[in-house]
A and B are shown apart, each in its own frame.
Chain A
Amino acid sequence: MITEILPDRCNSCNACVVVCPDHVLDMAKDGQLPVIARPDQCQTCFLCELYCSEDAIYVAVDVPRSELKNDPLGNIRRDYGWDGHEEDPLKNFWQLGGLLREGVMISSARHALQQSDDKESEKKI
Chain B
Amino acid sequence: MNEIIADVLVVGGGMAAGWAAISAAKTGARVVLADKGFMGTSGVTAPAGPNHWWVPPEAELRKAAVERRLESAFGLADPVWMERIIDITWQSIPEIAPWYPFSGDGKGGTFRAGLRGPEYLRALRQYATKLGVTILDQHPVLELLARQDGSIGGVAGYDRLNDRPWNARTGAVILATGGCAFRSGLLGSHNNTGDGYLMGVEAGAELSGMEFCISYSISPLWLSTRTLPYTGARYFNAEGQLLSIPGWDKPRDYLCKLADAFRAGPVYADLHEAPAGLPAVVREIQPATVAAFERRGLDMFQDRFEVKLFGEGTIRGIGGLRIVNDVCATSVPGLFAAGDAATREHIAGATSGGGAQNAAWALSSGVLSGTGAAHEAKKRRKTLDRSEKLKPLGGAGLRPSGAVKAVDRKAAIQTAQKETLDLDKALWRNETGLKSSASLLDKAWSEIRTSLHGEKLETVSARETAAMVATARWCNASALVRKESRGMHVREDYPQQNPDYQSRIITGGLDRITPYLEKLRTTEAVS
List chain A positions with a Cβ less than 8 A from chain B: 17-23, 27, 41, 43-48, 50-51, 59-63, 65, 67-70, 72, 75-76, 79-82, 88-97, 99-111, 114-115, 118
Q: By the criterion CB–CB under 8 Å, are B42 and A21 in contact?
A: yes
**Shortest CB–CB separation between residue A41 and chain B, in angstroms?**
7
A-B pairs with the 10 shortest C-beta distances? A103-B231, A108-B247, A21-B37, A21-B42, A103-B232, A79-B287, A61-B295, A106-B232, A94-B111, A107-B247
Q: Is A103 a contact partner of B275 (Cβ separation < 8 A)? A: yes
Given A21-B190, A47-B47, A111-B244, decide whether A96 and B291 contact each other with a Cβ distance below 8 A.
no
Pick the most buried of A22, A45, A75, A106: most chain B CB atoms within 10 A of its CB: A45
Residues of B within 8 A of A68 (CB): 294-295, 297
A103 B274 Cβ-Cβ under 8 A: yes
Q: Are B103 and A88 in contact (CB under 8 A)?
A: yes
Mark B42-81 against chain A: 1 for CB-CB distance below 8 A, else 0. 1100110101000000000000000000000000000000
Closest B residue to A113 by CB, please name it: B244
Residues of B within 8 A of A22 (CB): 37, 42, 190-191
From known contacts A18-B138, A47-B118, A90-B284, infer whether A105 and B101 are also in contact, taking CB-CB under 8 Å: no
Say whether, besides A47-B41, A100-B228, A72 and B296 are in contact (CB < 8 Å).
no
Give chain B residues whose Cβ lies under 8 Å from the Cβ of A21: 36-38, 41-43, 46, 188, 190-191
Asked if B238 is at the interface of the complex by the 8 Å CB criterion, the answer is no
* B88: Cβ under 8 A from any A Cβ: no
Which of chain B's residues 216-252 have a Cβ closer than 8 Å to chain A? 222-223, 228-234, 242, 244-250
Q: In the assembled complex, how far is the CB of residue A24 from the closest CB belonging to chain B, in whole angstroms?
A: 10
Q: How far is the CA of A91 from the CA of B103 in the complex (A)?
A: 5
Is residue B160 within 8 Å, beta carbon to beta carbon, of the partner chain? yes
Question: Which residues of A have CB within 8 Å of B291?
Answer: 46, 59, 61, 72, 75-76, 79
B105 at the A interface (CB under 8 A): yes
Q: Name the interface residues of B474-520: CB closer than 8 Å to any CB of A.
A: none
Contact indicator A103/B102 (Cβ below 8 Å): no
CB of B40 closer than 8 Å to a CB of A? yes
Residue of B nearest to A46 (CB): B288
Q: How far is the CA of A99 from the CA of B114 in the complex (A)?
A: 13
Bound CA span A44–B296, Å? 13
Contacts of A48 in B (CB 8 A): 41
Are A99 and B278 closer than 8 Å at their CB atoms?
A: yes
B283 interface hit (Cβ, 8 Å): yes
Residue pair B111, A18 in contact (C-beta under 8 Å): no
Contact B277 A79 (CB under 8 A): no
Instruction: Give Cα A91–Cα B272 distance, bound, in whole angstroms.
Output: 25
Query: In the complex, A59→B223 CA distance in Å?
Result: 12
Out of B137, B187, B275, which one reaches A43, CB within 8 Å? B187
B250 contacts across to A, CB distance below 8 A: 108
Q: List 14 contacting pairs A-B, 8 Å CB cutoff, sorted by A.
A: A18-B137, A21-B36, A21-B43, A22-B191, A41-B190, A43-B190, A61-B291, A72-B295, A88-B103, A90-B111, A94-B111, A96-B51, A103-B232, A107-B231
Nearest CB in chain A: distance from B358 CB, A? 14
Contact partner, B188, options A45, A79, A94, A103, Cβ 8 Å: A45
**How far, in angstroms, from A118 to B246 measured CA to CA in the complex?**
14
Across the interface, A79 reaches (CB within 8 A) one of B43, B187, B283, namely B283
Chain B residues whose C-beta falls within 8 Å of the C-beta of A41 in the assembled complex: 190
**Cβ contact within 8 Å between B249 and A61:** no
Interface residues of B in 278-296 (CB under 8 A from A): 278, 280-281, 283-285, 287-288, 290-292, 294-296
A50 to B230 CA separation, bound complex (whole angstroms):
24
Bound CA–CA A19/B114 (angstroms) = 23
A65 CB, min distance to chain B CBs, angstroms: 8
A108 to B46, CA, bound (A): 30
- Determine if A93 and B114 form an interchain contact, defined as CB atoms under 8 angstroms apart: yes
Q: B98 on the interface (CB 8 Å rule)?
A: no
Residue among A27, A46, A62, A95 having the largest count of chain B Cβ atoms under 10 Å: A95
Residue of A nearest to B54 (CB): A97
Task: Identify the closest chain B residue to A80 (Cβ).
Answer: B287
Q: Give the complex CA separation of A19 and B49 in angstroms.
A: 18
A35 CB, min distance to chain B CBs, angstroms:
13
